[in-house]
Amino acid sequence: MRCEIVAIGTELLLGQIVDSNSAWMGEQLALSGIDSYYQVKVGDNHRRIVDTLKLALARSDAVICCGGLGPTQDDITREAIAEVMGVSLVRDDAMGARIRHMFESRGRSMPENNLRQAELPQGARFIAEMPGTAPGLVCPVGAQVIYAVPGVPSEMRAMMMGTILPDLRSRSGETSVIRSRVLRTWGQSESGLAEMLAEHMRRLDESGRATLAFQASGIEGIKVRITVKAPDEGAARALLETEDRIVSDLLGKYVFGRDRETMESVVLLGLRQRGLTLALAESATAGHIGLRLSARDEAEGVFRGGVILGDGDLQTRLLGVAVAKVPDAETAAALAAAVRREAGVDIGLSTCAIDDRTPVPGLRPGTVFIGIATAEGARTETVQLPGDRARIREYAVISALNALRQKVLT
């Protein structure tokens, strides 16, 4: 069973609204074992909507239209579907009365143009779920089907879960499930990860048991998505675990988390499990590490605080670290050790950098020095980061946390 999604609305094409509905519907189709090869956007133009629906039916078994079911002149999804079906629109008086009652129950009078929402193509039926005043539609087109749902996310989701997904599963006879897991990586390029996984991906292409895909996510690293299709939930889970283990072994230190885990959540969990506390001395990152950690450690059980060092004299007064003419690895180590001592914590983490305000022969802007101090002493790591000052700062945040993860938690 192949199902195509058609998002309707000129505002989507103009970028005035981000089409998050299609992404959510695509995810739900995948979780239900329904293949979806195309997602299309089309503006509020009758001819183009009709042409888009005909094309969708030429390559898919089912189509979900999202949007264009309101009462105004530019809501023309019903008319377009009726033309594709080769039928007329008919008014359902019971639906008209229901819509009128919804308005009156809220102490409002119903504009007469809302009765347009009580119209449906002959042979179609309304979707039972109706959180708002716009009813959804199930429209048979021979052996195929077009569904129509409102663009309001809560209304669309209720109709998807209550009617459309069960109907699609029933039509397809499909009992398999599709499941995905995302491995989150940092420290290697997309092409580098692809090279490390090339042979395994070749074997997967031959076996068809799973697929791998890469998604560059900027300052959050590169995501590797594992997708499997299996007869049931248990088999899918077992396949995911197997693939997770294989891919993680191949990528090694670059994998830091899964699915919704972030670098800071992984680091905080690792420190908490070991009973360790942390303090920061941030120069290059200007407090951004502390911001991300404090958002996930509100009880301050692990992250005990830190200092933002934008002024050299402040660095000396607060931490007793002499100001170096040029930030370097030695400075980073001294800052980490000092903040650990002054805060009375197990680990001190520091950042300082070369930026475009202080050119240094032999060192490019974006050279960031990371210091990590523990009871065993201070260690440093130097990374070269791309972009302007703001971008370098963002990359430095996750680089510092990743260094802490690799040097202390693994």
The CATH number linked to 36 is 3.40.980.10
Residues 116 and 166 in one domain: yes
Residues 318 and 391 in one domain: yes
The first and second tokens of residue 169, run together, are 């599963």
State the pLDDT at residue 174.
67
Residues 310 and 357 in one domain: yes
Give the CATH number, domain containing residue 210: 3.30.70.2860
Q: Which of 258, 292, 310 is the last residue of a domain?
A: 258
Residues 14 and 64 in one domain: yes
Residues 14 and 133 in one domain: yes
Residues 50 and 85 in one domain: yes
Residues 197 and 293 in one domain: no
Q: Which of 118, 138, 172 is the last residue of a domain?
A: 172
Residues 159 and 16 in one domain: yes
State the pLDDT at residue 358.
62
Q: Which of 202, 234, 258 is the last residue of a domain?
A: 258
Ramachandran region, residue 259 (left: φ > 0; alpha: ψ -120 to 50; beta: rest): left
DSSP E strands in 300-384: the ranges are 303-308, 347-354, 367-374, 377-384
Block mean pLDDT (10 aa), the chain, length 410: 96 93 92 89 96 97 95 91 96 92 84 88 96 94 97 95 94 79 93 95 89 85 90 90 96 94 93 94 92 82 88 68 77 92 94 74 82 94 87 92 90
Q: How far apart are the first and last CA of the chain?
A: 45
Write out the residue range of the structural domain in which residue 219 sits: 177-258
Give the CATH number, domain containing residue 289: 3.90.950.20
177/365 Cα distance (integer angstroms): 49
Residues 270 and 349 in one domain: yes
The answer, as to whether pTM is greater than 0.85, is: no
Structural domain count of the chain: 3
> Which amino acid type is present at position 95?
M
State the pLDDT at residue 1.
87
Residues 328 and 300 in one domain: yes
Quickly count helices (H) and strands (E) in the chain.
14, 17
State the pLDDT at residue 167.
94
Dihedral of the alpha carbons of 370, 376, 377, 383, in degrees to the nearest 10: -20
The first and second tokens of residue 281, run together, are 């001395």
Burial 125-144 (b: 16+ CB within 10 A, else e): ebbebbebbbbbbbbebeee
Residues 294 and 371 in one domain: yes
Residues 181 and 167 in one domain: no
Phi and psi at residue 8, to the nearest 5°: -115, 130
